[in-house]
Amino acid sequence: MRYTFLLYSREADFANVPPEAMAEQLQVFGQYIGALQKAGVFVDTDWLQPTSTATTVSLATGSKVVQDGPFAETKEQLGGYFVVDAPNLDVALDWAAKCPAAKYGRIEVRASAMPPGQK
Amino acid sequence: MTVMDAQTCEARLSQIARVSHGRLVAILASRSRDIAASEDAVANAYRAALEVWPSKGLPANPEAWLMRAAKNSLVDKARSAFSRTSTSLYDDSGEAMEIPMKDPDSEFEDLPDHRLKLMFAAAHPAIDASIRAPLIMQTVLGLEAAEIARLFCLPVATMAQRLVRAKSKIRDVGIPFEVPDREHWPERIEAVLEAVYGAYSAGFNSAAPDQQGEPTTDERCADALQLADMLAVLLPEEPEALGLAALIAFSASRAGARLSSDGKLVPLDEQDPYLWDAQLVARAAEFLSVAAQYGVMGRFQLEAAVHAVHADRRRTGQTNWSAIVHLYGGLLTLAPTRGVIVARAYAVSKWKGISDGQAALGMLSDEEIQTFPAALVCRAHFSAESGERIGALRDLECAIKLLEPGVEQRYLQTKYEALRSTIL
């Protein structure tokens, strides 16, 4: 079963992180990705630009509306995600707990609702 | 096989379902990982039984018959879902239609294992804490949503909706049906123990002759006793699992003393201690003493300890009420419930007198008393003892209205009438 880890944290906490610390973080994440790959559970990941750069698109009102900014203002923001393929929720939760982002933020684990064969 | 009429068939089936429902669902769910679909399959098996049994007669092993019918229904549903959407309900490997399952007769050999897996899945930390025990009661122990709602003081619709939601989550997010590693047991054991205790209580309260029926010991009490025993053996390092096994064994030891020969309820302190099952009492005491060695007090151990003090009456001829008051004091800090407050107030009155008991019951507001039968009965007892018979009658009447029909209600009815005759 595929699981997506949505990584939430407070962007404000990272506004003034010095470049060395940032490089160190990248390395830590690199190691985590390596561990996921080695275990054969890694599917995908990305690290996102801050919500201040977000653009929201919708056709829900009938016509295309493009707006500057995120869909909703929240205390913690979505900063990245991982997709893993794990046999069950317990295995997925164990991997989520090992994610470096869990140390400073929250990780929402969501199972895939996509019918098999269509991923 | 004997042919029977539809009414007899229905009666037999409901009798069988009472014991088998939870077992059938546990086995099917631990195989299919879909609790709701398993429950539907068992319901379909009941329907099939009602159609077939009247003409073909009761099968030699009705439970295995139901198992086979339910399994077929589950597989059929998986097949049709597969052909309709090209997706399987149970797995995403594409070859998932076949639900791995042994011969229906031998499935029951692994029953404890299936039930344990289902219990741990329902007690998973990803499931809302307040619905874990109800979910176990429904799926593993076979209680009905209405009964569970009553035990948890919730509207039936609310409870039913939460149960449905929890079952969907278990299926949709892939909560494993496995007995987890030991390190995960402590976080899950609380809900499991609470559920077993709840099922025992539900069985206990209905273990009574109905309006016309014979006095019976409820099968669910026996089932809960067995499960509690199993958990205590599996989890010998969990003092609360031992505490629960002790608590249930103590309570079960009094099954033979709880009803008089004409089916009337006999309160604990009026029971003949020589009617208590000495073997069960000894086993309970053993569990409790093993639990005590860990030096970690818990709710079930304290409640079991209260029972142990009562059980001692057989040896000493009297009840040590001050010890009971102290144990309830401990329960007040660990698990303060209305039930504990009422039981403590009664014990205080036996130890120090009615007015101290009344003061102890004062921990509850009038509104809390008005909605809780045990509190009303306790207050009525205090009132009657201090000469306020009108107030006592009023409280008894309220309690009778709140209770479901059964031995308890009839006991209060008798009390009410006896008290009223002293006034008129």
Q: What is the pLDDT of residues A6-65, one digit of tens each?
A: 999 998 888 788 989 989 999 999 999 999 999 999 999 999 998 989 999 999 989 998
DSSP element (H, E) containing B72: helix B62-85
- The yes-or-no verdict on residue B374 having pLDDT over 50 is yes
| Amino acid at position A41, single letter | V
| Burial zone of B286 (CB within 10 Å; 0-12 exposed, 13-18 middle, 19+ buried) | middle
**What residues of chain A lie within 8 A of the CB of B126, using their CB?**
89, 93
Supply φ then ψ for residue B392, to 5 degrees: -60, -45
The residue-averaged pLDDT of B183-208 equals 83
Going by pLDDT thresholds of 50, 70 and 90, the confidence category of residue B215 is: very low
What pLDDT sits at residue B207?
54
pLDDT tens readout for residues B313-333: 999 999 999 999 999 999 999
Distances (CA, A) of B224 to A68, B231, B255: 60, 10, 14
Q: Give the pLDDT band (50/70/90) at residue B84.
A: low
Q: Which one is predicted more confidently, B140 or B397? A: B397
Q: Measured between CA atoms, how close is B31 to chain A, in angstroms?
A: 15
Is the pLDDT reported for residue A116 higher than 50? yes
What percent of chain A has pLDDT above 90? 71
* Per-residue confidence band for B83, with pLDDT thresholds at 50, 70 and 90: low
Contact residues for B16 (Cβ-Cβ < 8 A; gap 6+) = B62, B63, B66
Band (B69; pLDDT cuts 50, 70, 90):
very high
Amino acid at position B42, single letter? V
pLDDT-derived band of residue B335, with 50, 70 and 90 as boundaries?
confident
Contacts of A111 in chain B (CB under 8 A): 172-174
Taking only the tens place, the pLDDT of each residue in B390-399 is: 999 999 999 9
Q: Give the pLDDT confidence score for residue B260 in this predicted structure.
A: 87
Return d(Cα B161, Cα B159) in angstroms, integer: 5
Of B94, B174, B178, the CB nearest to A116: B94
Residue type, A101: A
Q: Given CB atoms, is B180 within the 8 Å cutoff of chain A?
A: yes
Inter-chain residue contact A117 with B94, CB threshold 8 Å: yes
Q: Is the pLDDT confidence value at B14 over 90?
A: no
CB contact (8 A) between residue B172 and residue A111: yes
Question: Beta-carbon neighbour count of residue B102 at 10 Å?
Answer: 12
Distance of CA B214 to the CA centre of its chain: 21
Identify which of A110, A111, A116 has the shortest CB distance to residue B87. Answer: A116
| Residue B175 contacts A where some CB pair is shorter than 8 Å | yes
How distant is the Cα of B416 from the closest Cα of chain A, in angstroms? Answer: 56
Q: Hey, is the C-beta of A6 within 8 angstroms of any chain B C-beta?
A: no
CB-based contact B87 A117, cutoff 8 Å:
yes
**pLDDT value of residue B31:** 86
Cα-flanking dihedrals φ and ψ of residue A42, to 5°? -70, 135
How does the average pLDDT of chain B come out, rounded?
Answer: 88
Q: What pLDDT sits at residue B95? A: 38
Q: Is B187 on the interface with A (CB under 8 A)?
A: no
Looking at the complex, report in whole angstroms how far the Cα of residue B33 sits from the nearest Cα belonging to chain A: 11
A113 touching B (Cβ < 8 Å):
yes
Q: Would you call B123 an interface residue with chain A, using a CB distance cutoff of 8 Å?
A: no
Average pLDDT over residues B217-221: 73
Contact at 8 Å (CB) between B140 and B122? yes
Helix (H) or strand (E) segment spanning residue A47 = strand A42-47
Cβ-based contacts of B176 with chain A (< 8 Å): 87-90
Give whole-number Cα distances, B16 to B11, B136, B198, B299, B380, in Å. 9, 20, 21, 34, 40
Window 29-88 of A: residues touching B by CB (8 A cutoff) are 86-88
Token pair of B235, please? 């989890």
Name the DSSP letter for residue B255: T
- Per-residue pLDDT, averaged over B325-346, amounts to 95
B87, B93, B176 member nearest A89 (Cβ) = B176
Q: A81 to chain B nearest CA, in Å?
A: 18
Which one of A2, A3, A41, A90 would you mutate to disrupt binding with B, by most B Cβ within 10 Å of its Cβ? Answer: A90
pLDDT tens digits along B270-317: 999 999 999 999 999 999 999 999 999 999 999 999 999 999 999 999
Note whether A1 and A111 are within 8 A (CB): yes
Residues above pLDDT 90, as percent of chain B: 62
Nearest CA of chain B to the CA of A18: how many Å? 37
Both structure tokens of A108? 């929402």
Query: Percentage of chain B with pLDDT > 70?
Result: 89
The residue of chain A nearest to residue B170, with distances taken between CA atoms, is A89
- Do A89 and B174 lie within an 8 Å CB cutoff? yes
Closest CA–CA distance from residue A62 to any residue of chain B (Å):
30
Q: Are A115 and B85 within 8 A, CB to CB?
A: yes
Question: Do the beta carbons of residue B163 and residue B143 sit within 8 Å?
Answer: no
Distance CA B153, CA A79 (A): 42
Rg (C-alpha) for chain B, rounded Å, is 24
Residue B182 reports pLDDT greater than 50? yes
Residue B365 and residue B162: Cα distance in Å, rounded? 30
Rg (CA), chain A: 16
| Pairs of residues, one from chain A and one from chain B, whose beta carbons lie less than 8 Å apart | 39
